[in-house]
Amino acid sequence: MTFTPVPLDGLFNGKGVSTPRRWPTTGGFNVWGNTFPAEGFPGTDGETFVEGVPYLLPGKGGPAAAGTAMDNVRCRGQLLEVPAGEHRWIHVLGAAERRTEDELLVHYADGAVRRQWLRISDFWPETDQRFGELLAFRTRYLMYPRHSQHNMPPSVWAQRVPVTVPGTVTALELPDNPAMHLFAITLETRETVES
Protein backbone atom coordinates (compact mmCIF):
# COMPACT_ATOMS: atom_id res chain seq x y z
CA MET A 1 0.00 0.00 0.00
CA THR A 2 1.07 3.55 -0.71
CA PHE A 3 0.15 6.53 1.45
CA THR A 4 -0.16 10.08 0.13
CA PRO A 5 -0.63 12.84 2.72
CA VAL A 6 -2.71 15.65 1.20
CA PRO A 7 -1.74 19.21 2.21
CA LEU A 8 -4.74 21.00 3.73
CA ASP A 9 -3.16 24.33 4.64
CA GLY A 10 -4.79 26.04 1.64
CA LEU A 11 -8.20 25.15 3.09
CA PHE A 12 -7.50 25.88 6.75
CA ASN A 13 -10.29 28.13 8.02
CA GLY A 14 -10.36 27.22 11.71
CA LYS A 15 -8.13 27.95 14.68
CA GLY A 16 -8.25 25.06 17.12
CA VAL A 17 -4.70 25.06 18.49
CA SER A 18 -3.23 27.72 20.78
CA THR A 19 0.09 28.42 22.42
CA PRO A 20 -0.07 27.96 26.19
CA ARG A 21 0.57 30.96 28.41
CA ARG A 22 -0.39 33.49 25.73
CA TRP A 23 -3.56 34.93 27.22
CA PRO A 24 -6.11 35.47 25.92
CA THR A 25 -5.72 32.62 23.44
CA THR A 26 -6.65 33.23 19.83
CA GLY A 27 -9.14 31.16 17.90
CA GLY A 28 -11.60 28.69 19.17
CA PHE A 29 -12.41 25.12 18.28
CA ASN A 30 -15.96 25.63 19.53
CA VAL A 31 -18.33 28.39 20.65
CA TRP A 32 -16.65 28.57 24.08
CA GLY A 33 -13.27 29.33 22.53
CA ASN A 34 -11.68 26.05 23.62
CA THR A 35 -8.44 25.06 21.90
CA PHE A 36 -5.89 22.26 21.96
CA PRO A 37 -2.47 23.22 23.38
CA ALA A 38 0.17 23.30 20.62
CA GLU A 39 2.63 21.43 22.81
CA GLY A 40 0.27 18.45 22.84
CA PHE A 41 0.32 17.94 19.08
CA PRO A 42 2.73 15.18 17.99
CA GLY A 43 5.25 15.27 15.20
CA THR A 44 8.03 17.52 14.09
CA ASP A 45 8.01 19.63 10.97
CA GLY A 46 4.31 18.83 10.68
CA GLU A 47 4.67 15.06 10.09
CA THR A 48 3.28 12.40 12.38
CA PHE A 49 2.28 8.73 12.15
CA VAL A 50 -0.80 7.06 13.61
CA GLU A 51 -0.92 3.26 13.34
CA GLY A 52 1.59 3.41 10.47
CA VAL A 53 -0.32 6.04 8.46
CA PRO A 54 1.64 9.26 7.79
CA TYR A 55 -0.11 12.61 8.18
CA LEU A 56 0.86 16.24 7.61
CA LEU A 57 -0.17 17.92 10.83
CA PRO A 58 -0.02 21.52 11.98
CA GLY A 59 2.10 20.32 14.91
CA LYS A 60 5.08 21.70 16.76
CA GLY A 61 6.86 22.66 13.56
CA GLY A 62 3.72 23.78 11.71
CA PRO A 63 1.25 26.66 11.94
CA ALA A 64 0.25 25.83 15.49
CA ALA A 65 3.72 26.71 16.72
CA ALA A 66 3.22 30.34 15.74
CA GLY A 67 0.03 30.54 17.78
CA THR A 68 -1.87 32.63 15.24
CA ALA A 69 -2.15 30.67 11.98
CA MET A 70 -5.23 28.69 10.98
CA ASP A 71 -4.69 25.01 11.66
CA ASN A 72 -7.77 22.96 10.72
CA VAL A 73 -10.49 22.70 8.12
CA ARG A 74 -13.92 23.43 9.52
CA CYS A 75 -16.05 21.57 6.99
CA ARG A 76 -18.18 23.90 4.86
CA GLY A 77 -18.50 21.89 1.63
CA GLN A 78 -14.99 22.69 0.36
CA LEU A 79 -13.70 20.88 -2.72
CA LEU A 80 -10.27 19.34 -2.13
CA GLU A 81 -8.43 18.30 -5.27
CA VAL A 82 -6.27 15.26 -4.57
CA PRO A 83 -3.54 13.47 -6.52
CA ALA A 84 -5.45 11.29 -8.99
CA GLY A 85 -5.27 7.63 -8.20
CA GLU A 86 -6.97 4.33 -7.43
CA HIS A 87 -7.37 5.17 -3.75
CA ARG A 88 -8.95 2.61 -1.46
CA TRP A 89 -9.09 4.49 1.85
CA ILE A 90 -9.33 8.11 2.95
CA HIS A 91 -7.60 8.47 6.33
CA VAL A 92 -8.62 11.48 8.41
CA LEU A 93 -7.29 13.05 11.61
CA GLY A 94 -10.12 15.08 13.05
CA ALA A 95 -12.40 15.91 15.90
CA ALA A 96 -15.96 17.10 16.17
CA GLU A 97 -17.98 19.45 18.31
CA ARG A 98 -20.19 16.71 19.67
CA ARG A 99 -20.05 13.49 17.72
CA THR A 100 -21.20 13.99 14.17
CA GLU A 101 -21.55 12.22 10.84
CA ASP A 102 -22.18 13.53 7.37
CA GLU A 103 -21.65 12.70 3.70
CA LEU A 104 -18.27 13.04 2.03
CA LEU A 105 -18.49 13.17 -1.77
CA VAL A 106 -15.82 11.29 -3.72
CA HIS A 107 -15.25 12.70 -7.24
CA TYR A 108 -13.90 10.48 -10.04
CA ALA A 109 -12.06 11.28 -13.28
CA ASP A 110 -15.04 10.06 -15.35
CA GLY A 111 -17.33 12.66 -13.71
CA ALA A 112 -19.01 10.24 -11.31
CA VAL A 113 -19.60 11.28 -7.70
CA ARG A 114 -20.08 8.72 -4.92
CA ARG A 115 -21.27 9.35 -1.38
CA GLN A 116 -19.46 7.96 1.65
CA TRP A 117 -20.05 8.61 5.34
CA LEU A 118 -17.51 10.56 7.34
CA ARG A 119 -18.05 9.97 11.06
CA ILE A 120 -16.01 11.71 13.75
CA SER A 121 -16.33 11.47 17.51
CA ASP A 122 -16.38 14.34 19.99
CA PHE A 123 -13.19 16.19 20.93
CA TRP A 124 -14.64 16.88 24.36
CA PRO A 125 -12.40 15.65 27.17
CA GLU A 126 -12.68 12.05 28.21
CA THR A 127 -15.42 11.30 25.67
CA ASP A 128 -15.07 7.84 24.18
CA GLN A 129 -15.11 7.18 20.45
CA ARG A 130 -18.53 6.67 18.99
CA PHE A 131 -17.83 5.44 15.46
CA GLY A 132 -15.05 2.87 15.86
CA GLU A 133 -12.20 5.21 15.03
CA LEU A 134 -8.83 5.11 16.79
CA LEU A 135 -7.66 7.63 19.32
CA ALA A 136 -4.87 9.42 17.43
CA PHE A 137 -3.78 11.42 20.46
CA ARG A 138 -5.08 13.23 23.49
CA THR A 139 -3.50 16.44 24.74
CA ARG A 140 -2.80 16.75 28.47
CA TYR A 141 -5.31 19.55 29.00
CA LEU A 142 -7.90 21.79 27.37
CA MET A 143 -7.41 25.51 26.86
CA TYR A 144 -10.01 28.21 27.40
CA PRO A 145 -9.47 31.80 26.25
CA ARG A 146 -8.10 32.89 29.65
CA HIS A 147 -7.06 29.70 31.44
CA SER A 148 -6.27 26.03 30.98
CA GLN A 149 -8.24 23.12 32.42
CA HIS A 150 -5.81 20.37 33.39
CA ASN A 151 -8.37 17.72 34.28
CA MET A 152 -9.92 17.83 30.79
CA PRO A 153 -7.73 16.32 28.04
CA PRO A 154 -9.40 16.64 24.58
CA SER A 155 -9.02 14.09 21.77
CA VAL A 156 -8.15 13.94 18.08
CA TRP A 157 -9.38 10.82 16.26
CA ALA A 158 -8.03 8.74 13.36
CA GLN A 159 -10.91 7.73 11.12
CA ARG A 160 -10.87 6.04 7.74
CA VAL A 161 -13.46 6.20 5.00
CA PRO A 162 -13.61 3.44 2.37
CA VAL A 163 -13.59 4.22 -1.33
CA THR A 164 -16.05 1.49 -2.21
CA VAL A 165 -16.27 2.02 -5.97
CA PRO A 166 -12.99 1.45 -7.85
CA GLY A 167 -11.87 4.18 -10.22
CA THR A 168 -9.58 7.16 -10.44
CA VAL A 169 -10.39 9.56 -7.59
CA THR A 170 -9.59 13.22 -8.33
CA ALA A 171 -11.27 15.23 -5.55
CA LEU A 172 -13.10 15.06 -2.25
CA GLU A 173 -16.02 17.32 -1.44
CA LEU A 174 -16.15 17.83 2.30
CA PRO A 175 -19.45 17.85 4.18
CA ASP A 176 -21.16 21.17 4.83
CA ASN A 177 -20.99 20.59 8.57
CA PRO A 178 -19.00 23.14 10.60
CA ALA A 179 -19.01 20.85 13.64
CA MET A 180 -16.44 18.65 11.83
CA HIS A 181 -12.81 19.74 12.05
CA LEU A 182 -10.12 18.06 9.96
CA PHE A 183 -6.44 18.44 10.82
CA ALA A 184 -5.08 16.06 8.17
CA ILE A 185 -6.08 13.73 5.31
CA THR A 186 -4.00 10.91 3.84
CA LEU A 187 -4.98 8.73 0.89
CA GLU A 188 -4.19 5.03 0.75
CA THR A 189 -3.71 3.85 -2.82
CA ARG A 190 -4.42 0.42 -4.23
CA GLU A 191 -1.42 -1.68 -5.14
CA THR A 192 -0.94 -2.10 -8.86
CA VAL A 193 0.17 -5.50 -10.08
CA GLU A 194 2.21 -5.59 -13.25
CA SER A 195 1.49 -8.55 -15.50
For the stretch 150-165, pLDDT in tens is 888 999 999 999 999 9
Q: Give the per-residue pLDDT at 190.
A: 76
Q: Report the candidate in 46, 86, 87, 88 with the shortest Cα–Cα distance to residue 66.
A: 46
pTM: 0.91
192 pLDDT more than 70 = no
pLDDT grade for 181, boundaries at 50, 70 and 90: very high
Distance (Å, whole) CA 38 – CA 55? 16
Give DSSP secondary structure letters for 150-174: TT---EEEEEEEE--S-S-EEEEE-
For residue 63, pLDDT over 90 is answered with: no
